[in-house]
Amino acid sequence: MKPAAFTYHRAESVEHAVSLLGELGEDAKVIAGGQSLVALMNMRLARPSALVDVSGVRGLHHMVLEPSGELRIGALVTHAAIEDYPLVIPGFEILPKAAALVGHWPIRTRGTFGGSIAHADPTSEWCLVAVLHGARMVIEGPGGSRTLGSEDFFGGPFMTDLGHDELLTEVVLTEPRERSAIREFARRAGDFAIVSAAVAYDIVNGRMSGARVALGGVASVAVRAPAAEAELEGAEATPEVFARASRAAAEDLQPPSDLHGSADYRRRLVRVLTERALADTLAGD
Amino acid sequence: MRTDSETLNVEFTVNGEARRVSIPPRRTLADVLREDLGLTGTHLGCEHGVCGACTVIVDGEPVRACLMFGVQAAGCEIETVEGLALPDGSLNDLQRSFSEHHGLQCGFCTPGMLMLGTAYVRRAVAADRESVREVVSSNLCRCTGYQGIVDAVCELVCHPDGTGAGEDPAGDS
Ligand SMILES: Cc1cc2nc3c(=O)[nH]c(=O)nc-3n(C[C@H](O)[C@H](O)[C@H](O)COP(=O)(O)OP(=O)(O)OC[C@H]3O[C@@H](n4cnc5c(N)ncnc54)[C@H](O)[C@@H]3O)c2cc1C
Ligand code: FES
Ligand code: FES
């Protein structure tokens, strides 16, 4: 199908984008890579009256590792740029692996990190990574800038705290970890995952520390799995511990049942994928 | 209801030739190529990013032409399937390889496969069959079963040490 008519506005800067969004009113939308929005518009599931194209805005294409160990990612960094990033980013080795799981190459060349976070698909790889790494979202609006943690930013499937006249400019990933891995299951290569699992931890004195387990596709937004994290914390990284933690990850979940999979099937996927992701963290040993 | 009273003038190059179109913002790049420029080699299957029939190359990168508006292509270099053949009309290496390996049957997916393959061949160094499979999984083909397509692309990029065209590792992806 073809999209409904709209007016097109090219933003020159963050301030310009924010003021355009304010002037054009509630029915205007930001377009970044367009890899979710244009599909929705073609199906007329979205009918914005105006598009504010931010793809030419400078200063939102950075990846900066701070001395604190935190990583700042500009909203317009594409999935492909992260996948092909020529350097290893210490503490965030999960990034290129996660990028490679986002759709297909011709989608990754245009789709953006910030667009994925703003779109808030419950099984988006970047939303999962944001939850795993305690992300802070940096938002610019008419009243200046504000920062939200993922608990406050994500409201539900395709829902965030972003106002219609606000722009997500940067995502700060915190809590770098020595070891991390991501696994997901999708029916076909490149599809959105049915369930995804990401894990990360440091090794301190031969034991796991700062363990994190995040799951996608089991709730309306990506979630942490505290019971699994507790099993890992302070333990040695062994297959037995991994198996226990993976069972714990699946136990206290109430995942949705839909035509992609029943709740039981999803719980099973959580156990298997968490265990495989944990096993991947030993691949370098 | 809003109408298309507003059109914008947009300039870009297609297959090296400067083009200028006057288009409403809602026209996708795929429709601009097909309707405004008569380049109907770029096909439309799903119009929501899933099938890859509309794949073209924009500034060196493969993209879905149905997920980009024509107005967003201002100043870009666009390559389409019409630009592949040699000046005398004979097939280029990738096209010839598709023909030799039976990489097409009905041909509907072929322009998209060729443009995806073109972008990949330019950047792949000693690729293996598995990565070719991963790349072409981006585009849907309802006829060939993909083996011929993988063989065709592999002939140009795979290392000849047994990972090249012809055999298929038991991939379980
Ligand atoms: C076939 C197909 C398969 C895909 N598979 C996957 C997959 O497996 N995993 C996955 O995660 N994604 C997948 N995607 C989606 C893809 O990752 C998109 O790139 C991403 O969801 C949105 O990024 P974008 O830059 O294209 O945003 P757009 O499509 O431009 O925008 C998406 C939404 O976010 C808003 N928005 C965008 N940027 C900002 C900003 N900076 N500030 C405020 N609001 C903003 C827009 O207004 C819009 O509502 C797939 C897409 C397709 C077509
Ligand atoms: S027509 Fe563009 S991906 Fe199907
Ligand atoms: S040759 Fe018919 S769809 Fe691919």
DSSP H stretches of helix in chain A: 14-24, 37-42, 79-83, 94-99, 105-108, 113-119, 125-132, 150-153, 226-232, 239-251, 263-280
Q: In total, how many domains does chain B have?
A: 2
CA of B45 from ligand 2 middle (Å) equals: 5
Residues B77 and B14 in one domain: yes
Q: Is the Cβ–Cβ distance between B22 and B8 less than 8 Å?
A: yes
Confidence of residue B172 (pLDDT cuts 50, 70, 90): very low
pLDDT value of residue B2: 58
Q: Is the pLDDT of residue B28 over 50?
A: yes
**Which 8-state DSSP code applies to residue A261?**
B
CA-closest residue to ligand 1 atom 6: A103
Q: Is the pLDDT of residue B86 over 70?
A: yes
Burial A120-138 (b: 16+ CB within 10 A, else e): bbbbbbbbbbbbbbbbbbb
Residues B69 and B121 in one domain: no
Backbone angles phi, psi at A85, to 5 degrees: -55, 125
The single residue listed with the structure tokens 């980009």 is: B68
Query: Is residue A244 packed enough to be buried (19+ CB in 10 Å), middle (13-18) or exposed (0-12)?
Result: middle
DSSP H stretches of helix in chain B: 29-31, 93-100, 110-123, 129-136, 147-157
Mean pLDDT of B11-37: 98
In degrees to the nearest 10, what's the CA dihedral of B146, A105, B61, A112? 160
H or E stretch at A180: strand A179-185
- Give domain status of residue B77, yes or no: yes
Residues B102 and B121 in one domain: yes
* A212/B168: higher pLDDT: A212
Q: Identify which of B46, B81, B115, B142 to mutate to test ligand 3's pocket (most ligand atoms within 8 A of the CB).
A: B142
pLDDT value of residue B125: 74
Residues B12 and B78 in one domain: yes
Q: Is the pLDDT of residue B47 over 80?
A: yes
pLDDT value of residue A285: 60
The whole-angstrom distance between A1's CA and the closest CA on chain B is 7
Give CA–CA dist B138/A109, Å, rounded.
13
pLDDT value of residue B166: 45
Which residues does residue A107 pair with via DSSP β-bridges, in sequence order?
none
DSSP H stretches of helix in B19-82: 29-31
Ligand nearest to the CA of A52: 1
Residues B69 and B109 in one domain: no
H or E stretch at A7: strand A7-10
The single residue listed with the structure tokens 């097909």 is: B34
Q: For position B72, which CATH number holds?
A: 3.10.20.30
The model's pLDDT over A61-71, given as tens digits with 9 standing for 90+, comes to 999 999 999 99
The single residue listed with the structure tokens 């995942």 is: A255
The distance in angstroms from the start CA to the end CA of chain B is 47
Q: Which domain range does residue B104 map to?
A: 93-157
Amino acid at B36: D
pLDDT value of residue A267: 96
Amino acid at A17: A
Residues B153 and B106 in one domain: yes
Two tokens at A116?
Answer: 């994925």
Give CA–CA dist B154/B163, Å, rounded.
9
Q: For position B118, which CATH number holds?
A: 1.10.150.120
User: What is the number of other CB atoms lying within 10 angstroms of the CB of residue A144?
Assistant: 8
The response to whether residue A31 sits with its C-beta less than 6 Å from ligand 1 reads yes
- Give domain status of residue B119, yes or no: yes
Mean pLDDT of B7-25: 98
The model's pLDDT over A2-15, given as tens digits with 9 standing for 90+, comes to 999 999 999 999 99
Give CA–CA dist A200/A232, Å, rounded.
10
Residues B47 and B104 in one domain: no
Query: Quick one: which atom of ligand 2 is closest to the CA of B66?
Result: 2
Low-confidence ranges of chain A (pLDDT < 70): 284-285
Which residues does residue B170 pair with via DSSP β-bridges, in sequence order?
none
Ranges of beta strands (E only) in chain B are 8-14, 17-23, 55-58, 61-64, 77-79
pLDDT value of residue B171: 40
Instruction: Give the CA count within 13 Å in the CB-facing half-sphere of B6.
Output: 12
Residues B78 and B114 in one domain: no
Query: Is residue B43 packed enough to be buried (19+ CB in 10 Å), middle (13-18) or exposed (0-12)?
Result: buried
Q: Is the Cβ–Cβ distance between A182 and A279 less than 8 Å?
A: no
- Give domain status of residue B110, yes or no: yes
Confidence of residue B3 (pLDDT cuts 50, 70, 90): low
The model's pLDDT over B136-162, given as tens digits with 9 standing for 90+, comes to 999 999 999 999 999 999 999 997 765
Instruction: Give the CA count within 13 Å in the CB-facing half-sphere of B106.
Output: 9
Give CA–CA dist A96/A161, Å, rounded.
27
Q: Which of B8, B63, B76, B120 best probes binding to A when mutated, by most A CB atoms within 10 angstroms?
A: B63
User: What does chain A come to in residues?
Assistant: 285
Mean pLDDT of B83-111: 97
Residues B117 and B147 in one domain: yes
- Give domain status of residue B42, yes or no: yes
Q: Identify which of B109, B139, B153 to mutate to test ligand 3's pocket (most ligand atoms within 8 A of the CB).
A: B109
| A3 Cβ under 8 Å from any chain B Cβ | yes
Q: Is the Cβ–Cβ distance between A232 and A221 less than 8 Å?
A: no
Residues B135 and B71 in one domain: no
ipTM of the modeled complex: 0.93
Q: Is the Cβ–Cβ distance between A208 and A234 less than 8 Å?
A: yes
The whole-angstrom distance between A10's CA and the closest CA on chain B is 9
Mean pLDDT of B39-59: 98
- Give domain status of residue B171, yes or no: no
CA of A239 from ligand 3 middle (Å) equals: 45
